[in-house]
Amino acid sequence: MALGIGILITERISAAIVSDNEIVGSTLARPEDESITDSLYGVPAETVVERIGEVVRELNCREKPSHIGMGMPGIVRNGFVEDSPNLIQFKGVNMQTLVSDALGSIFGDVSVSVFNDADVMAAGVAAVRGHLDKLVRVWTLGTGIGYGRYPFTDGIWEGGHSIVTLDPKEQFCGCGGKGHLEGIMGQRAMRLRFMDLEPEEIFEHAGEGDARCVEFVKLWHRALAAATATSVHLDGPGKFFVTGPNARFLNTTLLNEYLHEMVKLSPLQGYSTEVVPGGEAVAIIGGVVNAAQVLARG
């Protein structure tokens, strides 16, 4: 089986060697402390790429990889970062060229592909769960809301910015847009909405019957149902996985109840939702899966 290297840059840089959809050895991450979530903020793109090279070199890959796949936040098309609100220094940067040049000193000429981090998560979930022959969509619930699709298809796919309400007061999305899914479900958005409560406390208080929190939890679930239903109506039915740190708040029974209200056409009824583990390792595997498919297509 061809050897690949997967790289993920979100709150930190992580990388691993991947073969046959499994990580070989261990994943390296810098910084090692997961609690440090701002190590890349404001760091020049060129410096981040240098650090990527250092991490990949530390992998000590004894065999030249045939392909390298990287996931990162933002709208990424053909290796070019059109926008990246969470890592704004990458806007307008050709990451594919920068990373290829940086890793060329280690491996020589090698195929490098760059994808949105949600798309590599979707590919990783498909790989580890044996669904590489199916349409898989993944919601990642965290600081923002990621929407990934497998198999990878060129497009924007910013499902976290789906319009799920016409209320002009719903303006908590980090991009500044009104009515967005992320403006309701995102960690940052929940903190802005409930200045006196952390997201964990919102759901705890809802469980205790607090009326304000109960209504928000319903809105939170209905918003995800609306975005999921829109995807079903545009892309067809199939499996939807939910992952990320805030997936723990999800009540799939309530989500499916709202989905049933929204999706009525009989050909579209073959959808399902499931909460699954994600994490850096899964996304790294997904980056290699997508990169291998890009290489195979030539």
pLDDT band at 1 (very low <50, low <70, confident <90, very high): low
Domain of residue 38, CATH code = 3.30.420.40
* Alpha carbon separation from 277 to 18, 201, 246, 283, 294 (Å, rounded): 19, 22, 11, 11, 26
Whether 205 is covered by a domain: the verdict is yes
Same domain, 135 and 215: yes
Lowest pLDDT segment from 27-31, 52-56, 148-152, 155-159: 155-159
pLDDT at 185 over 80: yes
Same domain, 174 and 261: yes
Same domain, 152 and 69: no
Same domain, 80 and 138: no
* pTM to 2 decimal places: 0.92
Which tens digits make up the pLDDT trace of 86-108? 899 999 999 999 999 999 999 99
Tell me which residue range forms the domain holding 58: 3-116
Lowest pLDDT segment from 14-18, 152-156, 193-197, 215-219: 152-156
* Alpha carbon separation from 46 to 9, 52, 65, 98 (Å, rounded): 13, 10, 23, 8
d(CA 239, CA 151): 12
How many percent of the chain have pLDDT more than 70? 100
Whether 298 is covered by a domain: the verdict is no
Same domain, 7 and 54: yes
Same domain, 63 and 173: no
pLDDT at 85 over 90: no
Give how many domains the chain has, as a whole number.
2
* pLDDT average, residue stretch 162-190: 96
User: What average pLDDT does the chain have?
Assistant: 95
pLDDT band at 281 (very low <50, low <70, confident <90, very high): very high
Same domain, 88 and 149: no
